[in-house]
Amino acid sequence: MACPHLHPPAHQTFLDFISAHDNSPAKIQAKYSEHRTGRNAQQHDAFLSPSFAGVTLEYYLKLTEASPSPYAPDGIPLDPRNSLVLWARPPEHIIQLASHIGAKLKETAPHLWVMPPHRMHLTTLEISHSKTPAYITEMVQPLRPHVSRLTNHTLTHRSRLVKPYISYDLSGVALSFLPAAGEPHLSPRPSPAGTQQTVEVQVVQGDAYTYHHLRHDLTTILEDAGITIEPRYQVPSAHITLARYLVQHDHATPAARKRWVAAIEEVNAWLEETVWDVAGGEFIGEWVLGQERGLDLRCGTVWYGGGRTIMTGEGF
């Protein structure tokens, strides 16, 4: 699954995926759906297997959560993994949905670490990961002339994500989405105040411009700038990390694991019945990338929503 270097270049990999699915929003959505449902089926079996060996505990998260400072007494960071990423920050209605689901899951797994709302993010593009601060600093320098173009891309190129769903494995839990393909528009309308009121802006929108097209565009901008993209892996997924495991207690017995799997399946059934494509419901499951804020170019120890922002783009 891991693929630290993509050959051919990353933008071509995205383009090949789009072409392989006939540039069809419905086919692209189906592939994303197949990936997440297939993975959940595998994890269902893994959690209920007699040979279950435990969940994967987040070592650095346990260190940082137990410490009042991200640094050891000698000044060395507790988490040495530095990255450079482009995040999409969820709008308020998606944060409300994700927070509600996180609270529901903690009813079954009370020791679960749930991502704080202010740290929630979707990693639209991982440019580099697990490097030293000096390495990331060196990568940022040639990127600076292109930062505004990258972070503001969603102001004029708007892809939609729909059908939220809990994806999980032995490492944690995520709220995943599918690229839209004709679903009803449900999101709050953007404010009429702002740049677009006085400046004519050509906006690319509609479901033909999928999340995969957005990622292709961003990689093209980076590679045209001479930036080598070094992601951990390449999969058809759009997800917000929702929770991680800090202890084994919540999943220590077959009965506990059965309750855990059932809780996730119950939430997914609730999402499909009461959130997907539902107008006027308690929660909204549609997200147009760029709502409220543009992309967030982030560097440092970003693994659990940390690090620092280089620039955030304009929202709509």
In a domain, 75, yes or no: no
Q: Are 153 and 164 in contact (CB under 8 A)?
A: no
| Structural domain includes residue 138 | yes
**pLDDT tens-digit readout, 103-135:** 999 999 999 999 999 999 999 999 999 999 999
pLDDT confidence bin for 175, thresholds 50/70/90: very high
How far apart CA 163 and CA 214 sit, in angstroms, is 18
191, part of any domain: no
The answer to whether residue 214 is domain-embedded is yes
Nearest residue to 102 via CA among 155, 78, 272, 110: 110
**CA separation for the pair 154, 52 (Å, rounded):** 42
Collapsed DSSP state (helix, strand, coil) of residue 286 = coil
pLDDT higher than threshold 70 for residue 100: yes
Confidence at residue 2, expressed as pLDDT on a 0 to 100 scale: 33
Place of tokens 């997914």: 268
Q: What's the mean pLDDT in 150-166? A: 98
Q: Is the pLDDT assigned to residue 281 strictly greater than 70? A: yes
Distance CA 186, CA 180 (A): 12
CA geometry: angle 305, 306, 309, nearest 5 deg? 105
How far apart CA 276 and CA 291 sit, in angstroms, is 19
pLDDT at 194: 64
| 3 domain-assigned | no
Counted domains in the chain: 1
128 in a domain, yes or no? Answer: yes
Q: What is the CATH number for 297?
A: 3.90.1140.10
2 located within any domain: no
Give a yes or no: residue 192 inside a domain.
no
pLDDT per residue as tens digits for the range 284-310: 999 999 999 999 999 999 999 999 999
From residue 305, give the alpha-carbon distance in Å to each of 78, 238, 246, 299: 15, 16, 16, 11
Maximum distance among all Cα pairs of the chain, rounded to whole angstroms: 64
Residue 199, pLDDT score = 53
Domain range spanning residue 51?
10-68+82-183+203-312
Radius of gyration of the chain (CA): 20
